[in-house]
Amino acid sequence: MRGAVMYAPGDVRVEEREDARLVEPTDAVLRLSAACVCGSDLWPYRGIEPVGGATPMGHEYVGVVEQVGGAVKGISPGQFVVGSFFASDNTCEICRSGYQPSCPYSVIMGSIGTQAELVRVPHADGTLVPTPAMPPADMIPGLLAASDVLGTGWFGAVAAEVGPGKAVAVVGDGAVGLLAVLAAKQLGAERIIAMSRHEPRQRLAREFGASDIVTERGNEGVTRVHELTGGFGAHSVVEAVGTQESMMQAIRSARPGGHVGYVGVAHDVSLPGVELFFSHVHLHGGPAPVRRFLPELIDRIWKREIDPGKVFDLELPLDQAAEAYRAMDERRAIKALLTP
């Protein structure tokens, strides 16, 4: 099968990889309908995370089940399914409490690589959620978004306790940040402040439900959020970047007693205890338990209540994965979809 492999920062190649096959009896093998490049794939691409030799890439996926292992009960060949970037059994105490990425048996799909024609999915029963029927082609980008960026933005909004009557700020205008705006709108937020200085992203933020755009960053951005929220700060802030600056911007944008939901994968972040103590904020986040939200998200997409697929502003054949990475790295694209 063909699949994307990163050899070094800036060096992504699509090449022949060994065909995905069943390994455990709880596995399934999917033929991917679409794959994509994630903002988090850019960390190693930019050399900020190490690349440990030739690494299969990708962790977002939707597709049709080709084969299932002997122990798989709820998933059958021919079904169209959506998975999360963590495979998990979905039966243990941690999964049942809604924290599937922390399942003791979880497998991170990035270690398998879904920017490919086929993929092996561990814990198929726990991980995969079938759609009601084969989806129309125009719905596939939305379902693919549910597999990570929508689920992650949604978790950010839930972790930030977004709800009716609340003022929400979103730090980060990548696909996750934009979909956190969409989530905040769906969850009933009264005011949604998107922090972005890129015109096409501002436009999409408004389309997803942002009521205000703040272009300032750092402490100037914080000041603007306070000005827009009666001087107190936002009730809920979603952090969708993962840097020291963005985390502090998020914490400082929240009012005392407010909630920060942080979903940007933390890089060299160190939170000052004294400031955090006196901020009185709630902090929650981490790798999004997308599986918790998948049934609801698929339902909303299926009913066309939301169209998170709009974050894909570039579509390329899998063979051009290198260009997809380049376009996202250079911020020419918000998110690139790859067709195998």
Three-state SS at 19: coil
Q: What are phi and psi of 36, to 5 degrees?
A: -165, 170
Is residue 93 involved in binding its own copies (CB under 8 A)?
yes
Give the number of residues in contact with its own copies, rule: CB under 8 A. Answer: 40
Give DSSP secondary structure letters for 51-68: --SSEE-----EEEEEEE
Is residue 327 involved in binding its own copies (CB under 8 A)?
no
Residue 49 tokens, joined: 């995370």
Nearer to its own copies, 77 or 257 (CB): 257
Tokens 């952090």 — which residue? Answer: 239
143-172 burial code (b ≥16 CB/10 A, e <16): bbbbbbbbbbbbbbbbbbbbbeebbbbbbb
Q: Which helix (H) or strand (E) element contains residue 276? A: helix 273-279
301/307 Cα distance (integer angstroms): 6
Is residue 268 involved in binding its own copies (CB under 8 A)?
yes
Residue 47 CB, nearest approach to its own copies (Å): 17
Nearer to its own copies, 122 or 287 (CB): 287
Is residue 273 involved in binding its own copies (CB under 8 A)?
yes
Nearer to its own copies, 69 or 172 (CB): 172
From 10-18, 129-137, 173-181, 257-265, span contacting its own copies (CB under 8 A): 257-265
Is residue 226 involved in binding its own copies (CB under 8 A)?
no
Nearer to its own copies, 84 or 115 (CB): 84
Is residue 269 involved in binding its own copies (CB under 8 A)?
yes
Nearer to its own copies, 65 or 193 (CB): 193
Residue 240 CB, nearest approach to its own copies (Å): 13
Tokens 């959506």 — which residue? Answer: 82
Nearer to its own copies, 120 or 255 (CB): 255
Interface of this chain with its own copies, residues 276 to 315, rule: CB under 8 A: 276-287
Q: What is the CA radius of gyration of the chain?
A: 19
Q: DSSP class of residue 206?
A: H
Is residue 265 involved in binding its own copies (CB under 8 A)?
yes
Q: Are 215 and 197 in contact, with CB atoms under 8 Å apart?
A: yes
Residue 203 CB, nearest approach to its own copies (Å): 30
142/309 Cα distance (integer angstroms): 4
Residue type, 82: V
Is residue 330 involved in binding its own copies (CB under 8 A)?
no
Is residue 165 involved in binding its own copies (CB under 8 A)?
no
Residues that bind its own copies (CB under 8 A): 93-94, 97-99, 101-102, 104, 230-232, 242, 244, 247, 255-257, 262, 265-274, 276-287
